Amino acid sequence: MAHCIAYQDTNYFSDFITDYLAQKENLHELYEHFPNVENFKKQIELKQKNYQASTRKVLVNSLKEQYKNTKISAKSQENLELLAQENTFTITTGHQLNLFTGPLYFLYKIISTINLTEELKENYPQQNFVPVYWMATEDHDFEEINFFNFEQHKLQWNKDASGAVGELSTEDLDEAFKKFSILLNDSEQSAHLKSLFKKAYLEHDNLTEATRYLANELFGIYGLIILDGNDSALKEEFSPYVKNELLLQISSEEVGETSKRINDLGYKIQVNPREINLFYLKENLRERIIKEDEYYIVHETNIRFTEKEILSELDNYPERFSPNVIMRPLFEEVVLPNLCYIGGGGELAYWLQLKSYFDKEKIPFPILLLRNSALLMSDKQVQKTKKLGLSFEDLFLNQEDLISKRTKEISDIKIDFSPQRELLQQQFKDLYSLAQQTDKSFQGAIAAQEKKQLNGLDHLEKRLLKAQKRKLKDELKRVVHLQDEVFPHQSLQERNANFSELYQTYGQNLIPKLKKELKPLDLQFSIITLTE
Number of domains composing the chain: 1
- Distant-in-sequence, close-in-space partners of 292: CB < 8 Å, separation ≥ 6: none
Give residue-wise pLDDT tens across range 140-167: 999 999 999 999 999 999 999 999 999 9
Give residue-wise pLDDT tens across range 459-476: 988 898 899 999 999 999
Q: Does residue 210 form part of some domain?
A: yes
pLDDT of 439 > 80? The answer is no
Could you give the 3-state DSSP secondary structure of residue 39?
Answer: helix
Q: Would you state the pLDDT for residue 2?
A: 87
**3-state per-residue secondary structure call for 416-455:** CCHHHHHHHHHHHHHHHHHHCCCCCHHHHHHHHHHHHHHH
- Distant-in-sequence, close-in-space partners of 109: CB < 8 Å, separation ≥ 6: 93, 95, 133, 342, 343, 344, 371
pLDDT of 385 > 80? The answer is yes
pTM, two decimal places: 0.94
Q: From CA 39, how far away is CA 33, in angstroms rounded?
A: 6
- Distant-in-sequence, close-in-space partners of 514: CB < 8 Å, separation ≥ 6: 107, 108, 111, 374, 528
Q: Would you state the pLDDT for residue 280?
A: 98
Q: Would you state the pLDDT for residue 446?
A: 86
Report the candidate in 251, 400, 241, 414 with the shortest Cα–Cα distance to residue 332: 241
Give residue-wise pLDDT tens across range 187-208: 999 999 999 999 999 999 999 9
pLDDT of 440 > 80? The answer is no
- pLDDT over 70 for what percent of the chain? 100
pLDDT of 532 > 90? The answer is no
Q: Would you state the pLDDT for residue 304?
A: 97
Q: Does residue 48 form part of some domain?
A: yes
Residue 240 pLDDT grade (very low, low, confident, very high; cuts 50, 70, 90):
very high
227: domain range?
3-235+327-373
Q: Would you state the pLDDT for residue 437?
A: 79
pLDDT of 444 > 90? The answer is no
Instruction: Report the number of secondary-structure helices (H) and strands (E) in the chain.
Output: 23, 15
pLDDT of 186 > 90? The answer is yes
Q: Does residue 458 form part of some domain?
A: no
- N-terminal to C-terminal alpha carbon distance within the chain: 16
Q: Does residue 283 form part of some domain?
A: no
Question: Per-residue pLDDT averaged across 486-512, rounded?
Answer: 96
pLDDT of 527 > 90? The answer is yes
Question: Per-residue pLDDT averaged across 369-380, rounded?
Answer: 98
Question: Per-residue pLDDT averaged across 95-117, rounded?
Answer: 98
Q: How would DSSP label each residue in 497-512? A: --HHHHHHHHGGGHHH
Contacts 24+ apart (CB under 8 A), 416-423: 416/461, 417/457, 417/458, 417/460, 417/461, 420/457, 421/454, 421/457
Q: Does residue 426 form part of some domain?
A: no
